[in-house]
Chains A and B, each alone.
Chain A
């Protein structure tokens, strides 16, 4: 007893502990993220702020990512990692960006977080784009696009398409780039994301410029600038667009228009202070255009202004371009030494930065400025150009292959899908047809069985009809025979008896009185014999209405037989006043069949002890009752049974009414009633 009590207390305590610990866990779950959240949030914010150096920013982000990894709730973890990765991207630490992205991809994939998986691919696309591995960028953007499309995210889908267009243009796949740009625009049709739309237009403007389709290029640049009017935050997009426009005019050699565009861009007074790089570019371009236009005065100063700004900003690419422009200018002015110096400088920068176009341009200038070494420069130029072309072709092939493979996958997918649909359709059809066949076959066999049953019933009917007729004929024959005998007796024997008697009467008998008396007595005896013969003859002939018992005989025979088989007792009561021979054959046959059916059912289903068949006359009705003390049946269920249907239809055909009353375990009573008028075939008044 005591032991159990102790155990109870122990178990009770354990139970409580468990509950508490569970609760504690849950509560810590709720508490912990908040604790870490706060830390991570503060770290990220630090990384975002402008007051901190890039190094510290990166440090903070590292810490933040570490903390994020220890978060238990996956969704929160993923969110933080994603943010951190974005910050790394902004700080251009692409390797860290990639690592963090891979981290949160794993978790996203585990959790089936397809939005985050799409983000991962987007990040990868951006990463590869940043490191100039354009085909991988294209591939990843493509994957991101698929995910976004499945998530029905129209904006991001469009964005991916824009990214892909961008990458394609960079790799000189102009036609595909154009296609994707238009796809993006199409997706942007129903959503109000004007900035992305602007970018698309801008992209198309640049694209057509590359393809020398100047009219189109200008058109799209203007459309882009039009859009900017509706944007709340313009920043420096307008100026950039104007710059792009100027490049088109420049290619077209419409330098005035180019200068005009650049002037419009430069009209923004904030540029010099807020966006010095752009400012420098604009100045540089404008000066270059003036040079191309044929101006000579004041160009060097402006070129140098731009160069100075770029120098102070450490914009190496910009410096290179400035040098190129200056070199070209000086070359035109005949200052080959300055030109070759600047070209060389530009070349070095271009090589360092891997700006192939600039390398080529610088080489061209060098060969012009330094004609002695022209061949070397030209050789280098050709080598570089050829390798670039080869590279371009390879890239294009890669892209084509990616496209082809993707398309191949898509096609294969479609194909498979189609196949699946067809297979399922075909199998459904097969199933349907099989089941149809099955049902049809079953129905057919059911019908056949029914038909056979019907036929059998019909044949039975015919047999019994014939039996009845046969009986009748037999009866008739018998009767005929009796009549014949009767007539023979009457006409033959009787007549002769009479004639003998009469003749005897005329003979005078001589003799004693006793003999005479004896003679008279004998004569009288003869007469009485005659009478008897006559009576017999009449009895034979007498077609007593009650002598024709064929129908009831048939019924009693039926009852006798069936009761023997079914092992039940039976009683057959009939009203002897019924003149069965007056009754129409059709009525008799149908009645017989109904009674027969009823008795058959009793035999099959009733399991009874006793059956009573009675034929009575009640007022204007003839009533036939078949009562059994069996197990009865459910009238609702059996109403569809063909046997009862037959009985009913037979009763209908002889204008009789049939009532079936039964209940479970309470026996069955079948009552057939015919008005006497119909029974005896009297016409209705």
Chain B
């Protein structure tokens, strides 16, 4: 642990940034040795800038990452997920705490696969003590996931079913009501390909002779979406 932690808070709610500051302060109070330098970014552009153009020495040590952010001006960064990937790229030693309001399994899994954060905090799961607890743990090299995420991971451990990202995307799109004919716009497959995957998924989820609704319900139940 560096004597002087560099912490970046990326969130577009200033109130939440202040909460994080308070939390960090609380941590510093408890552990007198720690010195922190805190910076904030309110949108993707600033965040991008802060990620890419920090001083060469070490980079960021800790990043609070909100997933739901307004997209960058050039529309190349659409959410915190993209920023997360960028951070991993440029600051391989940094610890990322994802703090988000999203609580659907699909997004959570995606984030795990794209960012693989050390901390995953579903905002509405937690309260103040837990926040402080999480920061402490992570700064000491551990992990902290809030209850929703933990439960999801537990479910995933219990199931034998493995499906890839495309499968999950198909399931997700169907579940939000995207029509079959529009799916190729979201999923990089032809309709035939999608149909084939759907059939396989139905088999996997053991809803072979039933409609799409049954498939979605099952997938949801098992935590895939």
Tell me, rounded to whole Å, the shortest Cβ–Cβ distance linking A472 to chain B: 11
B23 surroundings in chain A (CB, below 8 A):
502, 506
B16 surroundings in chain A (CB, below 8 A):
495, 498-499, 502
What is the 8 Å Cβ interface bit string for chain B, positions 178-202, against chain A (1 contact, 0 not)? Answer: 0111000000000110010001000
CA distance A531 to B103 in the complex (A): 11
Are A527's CB and B124's CB within 8 A? yes
Are B124's CB and A530's CB within 8 A? yes
A505-B179 CB under 8 A given contacts A530-B124, A546-B213, A680-B211: no
Query: Does A652 sit within 8 A of B, measured CB to CB?
Result: no
Q: Which residue of B lies closest to A506 (CB)?
A: B22
> B127's contact among A490, A505, A543, A681, by CB below 8 Å, is which?
A505
CA distance A534 to B104 in the complex (A): 11
Are B211's CB and A579's CB within 8 A? yes
A682 surroundings in chain B (CB, below 8 A):
195, 199
Tell me, rounded to whole Å, the shortest Cβ–Cβ distance linking B5 to chain A: 19
Query: Does B15 sit within 8 A of A, measured CB to CB?
Result: yes
Interface residues on A, range: 35 or more
Are B19's CB and A499's CB within 8 A? yes
Are A578's CB and B124's CB within 8 A? no
Q: Which residue of A lies closest to B129 (CB)?
A: A505
CA distance A523 to B124 in the complex (A): 12
CA distance A548 to B174 in the complex (A): 13
Are A503's CB and B15's CB within 8 A? yes
Are A543's CB and B211's CB within 8 A? no
Which of A491, A499, A534, A617 has most chain B Cβ within 10 Å?
A: A499
> A545's contact among B124, B131, B216, by CB below 8 Å, is which?
B216
**CB interface residues, A 507-543, toward B, < 8 Å:** 523, 527, 530-531, 534, 543
Q: Which residue of B lies closest to A541 (CB)?
A: B176
Are B177's CB and A534's CB within 8 A? no
B213 surroundings in chain A (CB, below 8 A):
545-546, 577, 579
Are B179's CB and A498's CB within 8 A? no
CA distance A405 to B116 in the complex (A): 131
Considering only CB atoms and an 8 Å cut-off, how many residues of chain B contact the other chain? 34
> A490's contact among B26, B101, B212, B216, by CB below 8 Å, is which?
B101
Are B127's CB and A503's CB within 8 A? no
Q: Which residue of A lies closest to B14 (CB)?
A: A499
> A501's contact among B103, B127, B129, by CB below 8 Å, is which?
B127
Are A577's CB and B211's CB within 8 A? yes
A641 surroundings in chain B (CB, below 8 A):
none
Are A680's CB and B212's CB within 8 A? yes
Are A498's CB and B211's CB within 8 A? no
Query: Does A259 sit within 8 A of B, measured CB to CB?
Result: no
A504 surroundings in chain B (CB, below 8 A):
128
What is the 8 Å Cβ interface bit string for chain B, positions 8-37, against chain A (1 contact, 0 not)? Answer: 000001011011001100100000000000
Query: Does B214 sit within 8 A of A, measured CB to CB?
Result: yes
CA distance A683 to B195 in the complex (A): 7
B128 surroundings in chain A (CB, below 8 A):
501-502, 504-506, 523
Are A543's CB and B123's CB within 8 A? no
Are B192's CB and A503's CB within 8 A? no
Query: Does A500 sit within 8 A of B, measured CB to CB?
Result: yes
> A491's contact among B15, B22, B68, B124, by CB below 8 Å, is which?
B68
What is the 8 Å Cβ interface bit string for chain A, positions 570-591, against chain B (1 contact, 0 not)? Answer: 0000000111011010000000
CA distance A495 to B124 in the complex (A): 9
Query: Does A170 sit within 8 A of B, measured CB to CB?
Result: no
A479 surroundings in chain B (CB, below 8 A):
177
Are A534's CB and B103's CB within 8 A? yes
Q: Which residue of A lies closest to B16 (CB)?
A: A499
B192 surroundings in chain A (CB, below 8 A):
683
CA distance A498 to B124 in the complex (A): 7
Tell me, rounded to whole Å, the shortest Cβ–Cβ distance linking A460 to chain B: 26
Are B212's CB and A503's CB within 8 A? no
Query: Does B210 sit within 8 A of A, measured CB to CB?
Result: yes
Are B127's CB and A527's CB within 8 A? yes
CA distance A318 to B175 in the complex (A): 144
Query: Does A496 sit within 8 A of B, measured CB to CB?
Result: yes
Q: Which residue of A lies closest to B70 (CB)?
A: A491
B195 surroundings in chain A (CB, below 8 A):
682-683
Tell me, rounded to whole Å, the shortest Cβ–Cβ distance linking B124 to chain A: 5
Interface residues of A (CB under 8 A from B): 479, 490-491, 494-496, 498-506, 523, 527, 530-531, 534, 543, 545-546, 548, 577-579, 581-582, 584, 617, 619, 680-683
Give 10 new A-B contacts, CB below 8 A, not counting A499-B19, A500-B15, A506-B22.
A495-B123, A499-B16, A501-B127, A534-B103, A534-B124, A545-B213, A577-B213, A577-B214, A579-B211, A581-B177
The list of the 6 closest CB pairs from A to B, nearest first, reads A505-B128, A543-B177, A499-B15, A506-B22, A502-B19, A499-B16
Query: Can you list 11 pairs linking A and B with CB atoms under 8 Å apart?
Result: A490-B101, A491-B101, A494-B101, A499-B13, A502-B16, A502-B19, A503-B22, A546-B213, A548-B177, A579-B211, A582-B179
